[in-house]
Chains A and B, each alone.
Chain A
Amino acid sequence: MTTSTLSEQPLTLREQSLFMFFWARFRKHRMALIGGIITIFIIVLVVFAPFISTDPMDQDLMNRFKPPSAEHWMGTDDLGRDMFSRVLYGGRISLTVGLLAMGLSIILGSVIGLAAGYYGGWTDAILMRITEIFMSIPSLFVLIALGMFLRTLEIPFLKPGSFLPISLVIGALSWMGTARLVRASTLELREREFVQASRALGASDAHLLFKRILPNIASPIIVSATLGLAGAIISESGLSYLGFGVQLPTPTWGNMLSNTQSQMTTAPWTAIFPGLMIFIIVIAINYLGDGLRDALDPRHTTN
């Protein structure tokens, strides 16, 4: 699709606009690719944390607040613990929470959206009402209140204040966007010829849902999942920063930032690195998601 004469380069209008256009698309894919690579790199890094770094709980009170050095790549924190190890191990928790939360929200959203879109009628009305109710809940405030509650919750095999309840709660409050998206796509597909044809041939509901419709709404779900992951990571870190998420001393990128405000003059690296990691992975995921959206949905052409 050739574009307008809106740019101002010295090449001929047609030449440079075409060039710009394709270069932009290529660059975009490049950023998405880089985003994907960075994401995978970070995941690999945190998965192999035990092999790359030392014990994140190991305190060394003689060496508190040491700046980054050859021995401690990211310096040490207020208890002399190695920041690099804590950042890696913290990444494990942050990413686990992100993935679990995103997983739950995608599953919930897809199921609800599919059911609402496919069955219509009362099912749709009730499910959409529920969606609306959840969308009207002020999620940050509720997460804080729930966080108070979850800190004390005793689950077998898990310590209070562990990552599992937080993940489930974040997921339970973020499925609504996906549900709407899936519902819209389902509604549209329901009326398409190939679905009608299958139905005419006597296919069952389940068959239609899983074999015909679901594969075709995979792309919005994938994009939703990618961007949802970024959102979940930010939610967890914000919550943990406030003290309502995963409890110390288990590190997450969020709670590592909790008491750094007083250390900013003396040990700013304690505040910089955990936040930097959040920033990097979120921006990488966002670029990846953006690229995926372009790639998977041919109708989405702008920027």
Chain B
Amino acid sequence: MFIYFTRRILQSIFTLLVISMILYGLISSVPGGIMSVYTERSDYTPEDLARIRAKFGLDDPIPVRYAKWLGSMLQGDMGNSLITKRPVLEEIADRLPNTLLLMSIMMVTTLLVAIPLGILSAVKQYTWFDHITTTAAFAGQSLPVFWFGLLLIIIFAVTLKGADGKPLLPGSGMYTLGEDFSLMDRIKHLILPVSMLTFVSAAGYMRYLRSSMLDVIHEDYVRTARAKGGSERLVIFKHALRNAIIPLVTLVALDLPSLFGGALFTETIFAWPGIGRLYFTAALKTDYPLVMAVLIIESALIIGSNLLVDFIYATLDPRIRLS
């Protein structure tokens, strides 16, 4: 077991290293948009431009730049943003709470919606309830998420009006500017983005849960339990659910990386100041250190969540442990 874990961890570190090399090479090859601001202005002489280029560290060849970057990263320094000169980790830390707020609320609402719906539609298979929920889930999985966001804005933030004549729900931002803190205001601003994300995400979870439940419901041991005379509800909640939940838990674990970087479209449409938008702006301006930092963190999270799932399975399933 211990050997298995160690092996997996070492493999993961190796994977992360290779990814960092690939990504760094890729990002550094993107032509320098950060210099174009200066090359356009006529009062910048070649001396000025050369000085600024050197300062941004753009003169070294890519492998050298990578080595420097890796060296400082291993010491915990991921570099400074070329725009704000602050450490990129501080820039990320500034926006992280906003993305976390949005995504964790979305996680919760997704589960709150998907679990009951998934169970119920499995239990009531072939009824109209099942029918509508599966259709809706299908629709949710097929929707382009950004289009759905635009539609929500059209309907709720533009067309429908509240009692005061203003739009029913705010279409952008985290809170209304210039006013004091109001919980109601914050909640109102969360409604549309969270709804958009929840609908799309819950669709997948619900279908998955439904299909795991159906798998389990038809298993022999459930039929046995029912034959033994237990009530319907007992059978379901005790046996079926418990076994169907395990795949769900792994699904949630695999979705953890999205807590960090999963809200890009949402943040763009709803003007939410989070990591997604930070990355987008940084990519546009080729702020290399910031772009690399976000990529590496997200990759590490993906690798980490896969490890986590492996561990969960290894712990729960003795067959793997002993192989």
Query: Do the beta carbons of B217 and A230 come within 8 Å of each other?
Result: no
CB neighbours (8 Å) of B210 from chain A are 303
Query: Do the beta carbons of B302 and A136 come within 8 Å of each other?
Result: yes
Query: Do the beta carbons of B15 and A265 come within 8 Å of each other?
Result: no
- Most-contacted residue by chain B among A7, A272, A302 (CB, 10 A): A302
Q: Which of B11, B127, B144, B158 contacts A238 (CB 8 A)?
A: B144
Q: Which of A6, A20, A264 contacts B123 (CB 8 A)?
A: A6
Q: Which of A4, A275, A286 contacts B151 (CB 8 A)?
A: A275
| A167 contacts B by Cβ under 8 Å | no
Binary interface encoding of chain A residues 3-34 relative to chain B, with 1 for a CB under 8 A from any of its CBs, else 0: 11011100000000100110110000000000
A223 and B138 CA atoms in complex are apart in Å by: 16
CB distance from B27 to the nearest CB of A (A): 6
Query: Do the beta carbons of A282 and B144 come within 8 Å of each other?
Result: yes
A8 and B214 CA atoms in complex are apart in Å by: 17
A228 and B257 CA atoms in complex are apart in Å by: 22
CB neighbours (8 Å) of B138 from chain A are 283, 286-287, 290
Binary interface encoding of chain B residues 157-178 relative to chain A, with 1 for a CB under 8 A from any of its CBs, else 0: 0100000000000000000000
Query: Do the beta carbons of B141 and A148 come within 8 Å of each other?
Result: no
CB neighbours (8 Å) of A152 from chain B are 31
A29 and B126 CA atoms in complex are apart in Å by: 14
Q: Which of A24, A136, A283, A286 contacts B299 (CB 8 A)?
A: A136
CB neighbours (8 Å) of B146 from chain A are 238, 241, 257
A282 and B144 CA atoms in complex are apart in Å by: 9
CB distance from B206 to the nearest CB of A (A): 11
Q: Which of B26, B147, B207 contacts A142 (CB 8 A)?
A: B26
A133 and B300 CA atoms in complex are apart in Å by: 11
Closest B-chain residue to A281, C-beta based?
Answer: B142
CB neighbours (8 Å) of B14 from chain A are 129
CB neighbours (8 Å) of A271 from chain B are 147, 150-151, 154
Query: Do the beta carbons of B150 and A132 come within 8 Å of each other?
Result: no
Query: Do the beta carbons of A136 and B27 come within 8 Å of each other?
Result: no
A4 and B226 CA atoms in complex are apart in Å by: 10
Query: Do the beta carbons of A145 and B15 come within 8 Å of each other?
Result: no
| B3 contacts A by Cβ under 8 Å | no
A265 and B146 CA atoms in complex are apart in Å by: 17
Chain A: residues with Cβ within 8 Å of the partner, total of 53
Query: Do the beta carbons of A282 and B261 come within 8 Å of each other?
Result: no
CB distance from B96 to the nearest CB of A (A): 16
Query: Do the beta carbons of A145 and B11 come within 8 Å of each other?
Result: no
A137 and B142 CA atoms in complex are apart in Å by: 23
Binary interface encoding of chain B residues 19-34 relative to chain A, with 1 for a CB under 8 A from any of its CBs, else 0: 1001100110111010
A230 and B142 CA atoms in complex are apart in Å by: 8
Query: Do the beta carbons of B144 and A279 come within 8 Å of each other?
Result: yes
CB neighbours (8 Å) of A254 from chain B are 144
Q: Which of A7, A135, A145, A148 contacts B127 (CB 8 A)?
A: A7
Task: Enumerate chain B interface residues (CB-CB to A < 8 A).
Answer: 11, 14-16, 18-19, 22-23, 26-27, 29-31, 33, 123-127, 134, 138-139, 141-147, 150-151, 153-154, 158, 207, 210-211, 214-215, 217-218, 223, 226, 257, 261, 264-265, 268-269, 279-280, 283-284, 286, 291, 294-295, 298-299, 302-303, 306
Task: Enumerate chain A interface residues (CB-CB to B < 8 A).
Answer: 1, 3-4, 6-8, 17, 20-21, 23-24, 129, 132-133, 135-138, 140-142, 144-146, 148-149, 152, 230, 234, 237-238, 241-242, 254, 257, 260-261, 264-265, 268, 271-272, 274-275, 278-279, 282-283, 286-287, 290, 302-303
